[in-house]
Amino acid sequence: MNTELAFAMGEMNRGKELMVFDWDKAATIIRDRKPDYADAYLDGDREWTGGNIYKDGKPNHESYTYLASTWATPMLDIDGDLIECYKMQHEVPKWGSGTKWPKSALNILNGD
């Protein structure tokens, strides 16, 4: 998505509640499927928001992601299977665009 369109979408959706990537759901799916890889991104803006979150059998804390939006749906790509994966901001008030592998998700992934 080009910068002008992203800015316009942001302006049109100003004041709406954020959709935030659901790390707990992603961890549950990853734990159950044991994929080769998992990426997370905002639908329609993958190039600028997405990155790898799981590789080589463990969570990846290194790649850049931006995973919250009022208009673009947070997505999980698990071995090519694309899944909507979000909660509304009021459901996870401590999570935001920069949240990466919170303790609750790591606990799920590790079977704790």
Residue 89 lies in a domain: yes
> What pLDDT sits at residue 8?
55
Residue 41 scores a pLDDT above 70: yes
Q: Cite the DSSP H helix spans in 13-83.
A: 23-33, 46-49
> What pLDDT sits at residue 42?
97
Q: Each residue of 83-105: pLDDT tens digit?
A: 999 999 999 999 999 999 999 99
Mean pLDDT of the chain: 91
Provide the number of structural domains found in the chain. 1
Residue 9 lies in a domain: no
Residue 57 lies in a domain: yes
Residue 7 lies in a domain: no
Ramachandran angles phi, psi of 41, nearest 5°? -165, 170
Domain of 62, in residue numbers: 18-109
Residue 22 lies in a domain: yes
> What pLDDT sits at residue 64?
93
DSSP class of residue 62?
A: S
Strand duo 68-69 + 74-78: pairing: unpaired
> What pLDDT sits at residue 88?
98
Q: Each residue of 14-30: pLDDT tens digit?
A: 678 999 999 999 999 99
DSSP class of residue 94?
A: T
Residue 3 lies in a domain: no
